Structure 1
Amino acid sequence: MADVLHDRGQRAAGARDFGSNLDQHLHVALGPARGRMQGSTLGLREFVSDAWSWLNYKPMMTTASTGLPHRALAPAARPGWLPPEDTRRLAAYKILAAYDSNQAGELAVLTGNEAGGERREFGDAAAFVNTTLAHLLGKTQQIVAPGAEHAGGEEPPPDAVAAAQVQQRLRDWAEKELLPLRMQAAERKAVLLGDAVYLLAWDPDKARVRLRTIDPGFYFPVLDEDADPCDYPSKVHLAWDIPEDPARGTKARVRRITYELGPIFAASRSTGEGRRDLVSDGSGGWLLEQGDALHPETGRIERTYPWTDRPTGVTCYLTDAEWDLDDLRLGQLLDDLPVEKARFKTRADGEVLDRLDLRIDFLPIVHLTNSVSDGEHFGQSALAPVMQALDELAESDTDSARASATTGAPIIGLAGVRTEVDRVTGRPRPLAVEPGTVFQLGDGGRMDVLDTSAQLAELRARVEEVRERAAVNARLPAVSLGTVDPSRVPSGYALQLSLGPLDSLVESMRLARAHKYALLLRFVQRLHQAGHAEGWPAVATTPVRLVFGPHTPTDRSAVLDEVVRAVGAGVLSLETGVRMLQEAGYPIDDARAEIKRIVTGKAADTAMGPVSPPPAESSPASTS
């Protein structure tokens, strides 16, 4: 990297010693909120190192004139509401989406590369994403409350009974809310784009929590400059552009939904002007919401939520509004849009969504990252290490398509043949080569055929070489991509060794998600409690986690034999054995119920006593 910068510095600033004047040539600033390193010098292209630096090799990612992504990638990069620090992230999302849908060539043409129209794309990016997603999710996903398996005994402890009840309620909610399908949609975005967003909301009509997946391009957290980017933000915007519609007479506008934590205020009610105002208590003060308490010495309003017995002065506010883009001035970004120009939305029950108190002390948003955070708030796509390999694959496939055209319809050169002359132009008419065509050649005539089959074979070998290299860098072994004949695997141990990189990849991705899914299930419990749902008492939140099934084939018979031996010898408990069978893929929906059936079956066999074997039949020889 130093050599590259040195060469660029010599071209821009003459033959000066770049190494001895590094501070004069490159100013480096490390932003604590983004972990971003950038520098700019006279005549040098800006050096940027952030979560999307792996796309810097593409000219469309950073234009020379503005230093911003091409307008086709980030149209809102022109003066508007979009924060400048988010333009590269949205541009990266669009590039990744183009690769996933085989539109990278179309995007290249749109950004000025006319040769991109001939690009051949055969779904390699989508294959990598789908394979990674399948191994990440495993065969099953199950909600597990630790300790719930001990609730099936004769005198189960109260904690085990409570855990089992919460586990069953969450599983019922997940079935009604189609959690596996929503996870598929969200996790595919996380694997492809690096980020995914879940949004939770209480639905009083259905009397349950609703779960939605939000495109990460709409997600704009407000991160303090001196805060750790890995911390949970206290303010999040969900925003997007709405194009104008001449048929309906609507202008181009931006919609912004904001969730923000803040101090508790007095009660507010909707007015007829689309706003919310504080409510007077009739004695010169302000009316408090039910359950709130004012501390006169501090002037702070506190509230006790159902999941804790400790009062707090924090609540979450929801604001949903629209602005016409024509009403925005230069410099009015997403976080400081003018309130006087806003048109606030109204909920179905008539509540105006202008800092509406949701009566919860958390943001009902869960941001999922594909990778373990290392100082960045956003994650990294699974395609990040292989983007250039995908380009090389597309170029090789394009060259192969061209070579196959000349191989299937070869170029033929004829000598000593008399061609028919066009009477209008006076030029020889081109010859058409078709099956059964016969050419009459004169003395010394010959026919030469250009054979490009050797080049085609080399190009096909090059494609396989690049694809194998990409699979290695993506930590997706050939056996996981389905390109290896199982009969050629020498042994199961060799297969297990070849899956080592995939195991480490899946473990890392699941580690990045473990806390987020535990947080999501905690929010589901608290929103049910805040909505006073039936069967959800006002108690402390039970820790619950989401367990993914095995991501590789397992030897079920070997696991069963191991469990039988270990449980029979008293080395493992029955609960642990049943859990191992679940992870191996046995159809056990409820470990607690399965343990109860096993214990009941053993008790019944003991009560019946030993069963005598049937008498052996006499053989013909003994009878005679």
Structure 2
Amino acid sequence: MGLTSGLKAVIVDAWSWLNYKPIYSDPRGMPHRRAFPEAKASWVPPEDERRLAAYKLLQAYDNNQAAELAEILDGPEARDKREFGDPSMFVDAILAHVLGREQHITVPGAENTEQPDARDAMAERVQTLLRDWAEDELLPMRMQQTERKAVTLGDGVYRLAWDPAKQRATVRAVDPGFYFPVLEEDDGEFPDRVHFAWELPEDTRRGLKNRLRRITYELAPIGAATAAGLDASGRSVRAPLTVEGPDGDLVPVVGQGDSVDPDTGTVSRQYPWNDQPSTLTCYLTDATWNLEDLKGDIDIDSLPMDKATFATRSDGEVLDHLDLLIDFVPVVHVPNTVPAAEEHWGQSSLAKVLQVFDELAGSDTDSARASATTGLPMVAVSGINDSHTQMDVGPGALFKLGDNGRLTAVDTSAALRELREHVHDLADRAAKVARLPAVALGTVDPSQVPSGYALEISLGPLDSLVASMRLARDHKYALLLKFIQRLHMAGQHPDWTGITPMPAKMTFGSYKPTDKQAILDLVANGVDKGVISLETGVSMLVEAGFPIDDAAAEIERIQSRQFDKARLLADATGDTQLVGEFLGVTVTEPDPAPIPQLPPTAGDPTTDPADPAAQGSGGNTP
């Protein structure tokens, strides 16, 4: 919003923390045109100009190019500033702590090994399928790509798709500078229409002019079925399929499995993940325009479709309003921080410390200049016989001085010492503002930490930082894993036949330095004393970084060797089958012992063959 005071406009928005830089905010609050020509493109909506300029400026800090960008406004002397990678170090440290040592896909109920029901079995199957997919799709690498953009720029974006050739869902990290959601008043963080757009340079060898490519996902009512075809000009397009009706008129054909309401004409579709039919589907359009054809008052959301050239997918489908057979937009936006109320965008982790980095660059530049005069000191010479003699200061130099001659060296080491201390103060200030204690940056001497408790207290600011950043990501990754399940079901992958979608989440590993031996002793003692369960103990070991790939399998292996506890279980219940389930083995019941046959005893009426009563009562007979 703009708060006007006289002729001065104060811009307050998601990127107003950059207003202190003249190159970013002129008197009208808009970025410098020569520094950010991409943000000034004719097709870029005005509300996105400051966002795109902020992305470029932040990327310049991460790449040690802030001085190069400042040269446009401040002149060649701006290039003399030293940039030693402090912003990049902060980004790497924050990224490592947010993601943790490892990331795991978990489905609640999949680790339940005690009397699992049908839902637990389905959870285990979905978890296995998702983990196999993540390994095939290199998901940890995609997360690194997206999360680094999110930490640096404030926003990261995943784009999902079903690949007919690979027969699996694919996920790609997209630069947020290409991301243009159409945010309506009631859309919030889930817009119904999303554009990805970027310019393509001229290719003289192929005879291609400057172009604009736009990929659009749009959630809209289900329409008639379409097929690839050609229009009058020979351009590849999609056209609706029709059949001849009873009156001889051409009637649109609906897709297989779709139904039409005879009263309203509304088309509905039963998706395998919904209980009720839906009237919405997602359409994909991938089009390219020559920039010279884009004239008039247009932006990314109002490009002329009659000037577009549509792409063709690997399976021959023309990407012109192609029905993807899903009822969601397969795009996940990951903000770096929890957005403000009714906002869509996150904030960069460099936002609050950018001015400190500018001061650091200035101090580093001054230190470099001061070190030059300290290493090669300035020397004043008086009483020279020939004032025109050229003198060089260096090892073995000889100066012939006259009467009362004098040689004086100027010591600047004190000034250099003060500058270096100032640099350390600025670095500490940046770490405090960014909530990165010295132990998190790896600059603390381990021998100087008095105790583990003191170390835990020092990590308090980092704990709150990571907790808030992971909160902003939790439901986004849950949404991504939900979309992955639905894409496999829509693609009719055989491994996903009969699958019921399950809520899945991304679990980030520990980021704290841990004493593995202490945690191992804690778990062993707790499980042995019965104050914590074996499942909880194994989870603690996983978080501590022990090489346990599958917690459920690890629990089964542990239990299969606990013969003493199995013996106690048998004594307590007398159920050998339960003992077998505990050990993970099949227990074979022994055959019942035969009834003993006692030898005859004289005088016993039941066994003495001479006694008539024994014979009459069914006793032993010869």
Q: Is the 8 A contact 1:90 1:217 kept in 2?
A: yes
**Equivalent of 1:522 in 476, 482, 498:** 482
Rounded to whole Å, the distance in 1 between the matches of 2:383 and 2:389 is: 15
- Correspondence for 1:39: 3
Rounded to whole Å, the distance in 1 between the matches of 2:498 and 2:567 is: 43
Matched, 1:566 2:526: yes
Residue 567 of structure 1: how far off its partner (Å): 2.9
Q: Is the 8 A contact 2:122 2:500 kept in 1?
A: no
In the alignment, residue 328 of structure 1 is paired with which amino acid?
L
**Equivalent of 2:65 in 88, 100, 103:** 103
Matched, 1:233 2:200: no
Residue 483 of structure 1: how far off its partner (Å): 1.3
Matched, 1:74 2:32: no
Shift of the 220–262 alpha-carbon distance from structure 1 to 2, 3 Å rule, reads: same
Q: Is the 8 A contact 2:19 2:29 kept in 1?
A: no
Rounded to whole Å, the distance in 1 between the matches of 2:199 and 2:447 is: 54
**Equivalent of 2:355 in 388, 391, 394:** 388
Matched, 1:134 2:96: yes
Residue 407 of structure 1: how far off its partner (Å): 0.9
Q: 1:357-397: per-residue Cα shift (whole Å, max 9, x none)?
A: 00000111110010011132111011111000000000000
Q: 1:313-356: per-residue Cα shift (whole Å, max 9, x none)?
A: 00000001011111111321000001111111111222111100
Q: Is the 8 A contact 1:125 1:390 kept in 2?
A: yes
- Correspondence for 1:115: 77
Matched, 1:301 2:261: no
Q: 1:186-214: per-residue Cα shift (whole Å, max 9, x none)?
A: 11111111111111111121111111100
Rounded to whole Å, the distance in 2 between the matches of 1:474 and 1:313 is: 47
SS of residue matched to 1:288: coil
Matched, 1:257 2:224: no
Q: How does 1:159-308 map to 2 (within 5 A)?
A: 159-224=119-184, 226-227=185-186, 229=188, 231-272=189-230, 273-283=235-245, 284-308=250-274
Residue 167 of structure 1: how far off its partner (Å): 0.4
- Correspondence for 2:340: 374
In the alignment, residue 210 of structure 1 is paired with which amino acid?
T
- Correspondence for 1:365: 331
Shift of the 318–468 alpha-carbon distance from structure 1 to 2, 3 Å rule, reads: same
Rounded to whole Å, the distance in 1 between the matches of 2:126 and 2:73 is: 53
Q: How does 1:302-317 map to 2 (within 5 A)?
A: 302-317=268-283
Shift of the 88–429 alpha-carbon distance from structure 1 to 2, 3 Å rule, reads: farther
Residue 141 of structure 1: how far off its partner (Å): 0.4
**Equivalent of 1:58 in 18, 21, 25:** 21
SS of residue matched to 1:445: strand
In the alignment, residue 57 of structure 1 is paired with which amino acid?
Y
Shift of the 79–308 alpha-carbon distance from structure 1 to 2, 3 Å rule, reads: closer
Q: How does 1:84-103 map to 2 (within 5 A)?
A: 84-103=46-65
Shift of the 100–255 alpha-carbon distance from structure 1 to 2, 3 Å rule, reads: same
Normalised TM-score (structure 2)? 0.87
Q: 1:415-462: per-residue Cα shift (whole Å, max 9, x none)?
A: 111337xxxxxxx35322221010110001111212111100000000
In the alignment, residue 409 of structure 1 is paired with which amino acid?
L
Residue 605 of structure 1: how far off its partner (Å): 7.3
Alignment size in residue pairs: 561
RMSD: 1.8
Q: Is the 8 A contact 1:79 1:330 kept in 2?
A: no
Rounded to whole Å, the distance in 1 between the matches of 2:75 and 2:490 is: 55
Q: Is the 8 A contact 2:332 2:480 kept in 1?
A: yes
Q: Is the 8 A contact 2:126 2:499 kept in 1?
A: no
- Correspondence for 1:446: 406
Q: 1:554-598: per-residue Cα shift (whole Å, max 9, x none)?
A: 222332333333333433332222212211222111111112122
Residue 48 of structure 1: how far off its partner (Å): 0.5
Rounded to whole Å, the distance in 1 between the matches of 2:242 and 2:436 is: 64
Shift of the 256–587 alpha-carbon distance from structure 1 to 2, 3 Å rule, reads: same
Q: Is the 8 A contact 2:313 2:319 kept in 1?
A: yes
In the alignment, residue 306 of structure 2 is paired with which amino acid?
E
SS of residue matched to 1:335: coil
Residue 599 of structure 1: how far off its partner (Å): 2.1
SS of residue matched to 1:142: strand
Q: 1:123-175: per-residue Cα shift (whole Å, max 9, x none)?
A: 1001100011111111110011011111x34x520111000000011111111
In the alignment, residue 258 of structure 1 is paired with which amino acid?
T
Shift of the 79–476 alpha-carbon distance from structure 1 to 2, 3 Å rule, reads: closer
Q: How does 1:586-597 map to 2 (within 5 A)?
A: 586-597=546-557
Q: Which runs of 5+ in 1 are unaligned?
A: 1-36, 421-427, 611-624
Rounded to whole Å, the distance in 2 between the matches of 1:71 and 1:201 is: 36
- Correspondence for 1:622: none
In the alignment, residue 355 of structure 1 is paired with which amino acid?
H
Rounded to whole Å, the distance in 2 between the matches of 1:564 and 1:484 is: 31
Rounded to whole Å, the distance in 2 between the matches of 1:330 and 1:525 is: 43
- Correspondence for 2:591: none
In the alignment, residue 288 of structure 1 is paired with which amino acid?
V
Q: Is the 8 A contact 1:73 1:95 kept in 2?
A: no
Rounded to whole Å, the distance in 1 between the matches of 2:16 and 2:135 is: 40
- Correspondence for 1:343: 309
Rounded to whole Å, the distance in 1 between the matches of 2:263 and 2:30 is: 52
- Correspondence for 1:146: 108
Residue 108 of structure 1: how far off its partner (Å): 0.7
SS of residue matched to 2:398: coil
Q: Is the 8 A contact 1:307 1:538 kept in 2?
A: no
- Correspondence for 2:619: none
- Correspondence for 1:460: 420
Matched, 1:397 2:361: no
Matched, 1:156 2:123: no
Normalised TM-score (structure 1)? 0.87
Matched, 1:334 2:300: yes
Residue 240 of structure 1: how far off its partner (Å): 0.6
Residue 505 of structure 1: how far off its partner (Å): 0.6
In the alignment, residue 281 of structure 2 is paired with which amino acid?
T
SS of residue matched to 1:414: strand
Q: Which runs of 5+ in 2 are unaligned?
A: 571-622
Rounded to whole Å, the distance in 2 between the matches of 1:417 and 1:247 is: 69
**Equivalent of 1:479 in 420, 439, 445:** 439
Moved more, 281-290 or 242-251: 242-251
Residue 603 of structure 1: how far off its partner (Å): 4.4
Q: Is the 8 A contact 2:336 2:472 kept in 1?
A: yes
Rounded to whole Å, the distance in 2 between the matches of 1:469 and 1:583 is: 31
Residue 498 of structure 1: how far off its partner (Å): 0.5
Rounded to whole Å, the distance in 2 between the matches of 1:193 and 1:243 is: 24
Moved more, 551-560 or 464-473: 551-560
Q: 1:47-77: per-residue Cα shift (whole Å, max 9, x none)?
A: 111111111000011223x642112442144
SS of residue matched to 1:60: coil
In the alignment, residue 210 of structure 2 is paired with which amino acid?
A
Q: 1:475-518: per-residue Cα shift (whole Å, max 9, x none)?
A: 00011111111101111111111110011111111110000000
Q: Is the 8 A contact 2:91 2:349 kept in 1?
A: yes
Q: 1:11-43: per-residue Cα shift (whole Å, max 9, x none)?
A: xxxxxxxxxxxxxxxxxxxxxxxxxx2134553
SS of residue matched to 2:496: coil
Q: Is the 8 A contact 1:308 1:539 kept in 2?
A: no
- Correspondence for 1:415: 382
**Equivalent of 1:510 in 440, 462, 470:** 470
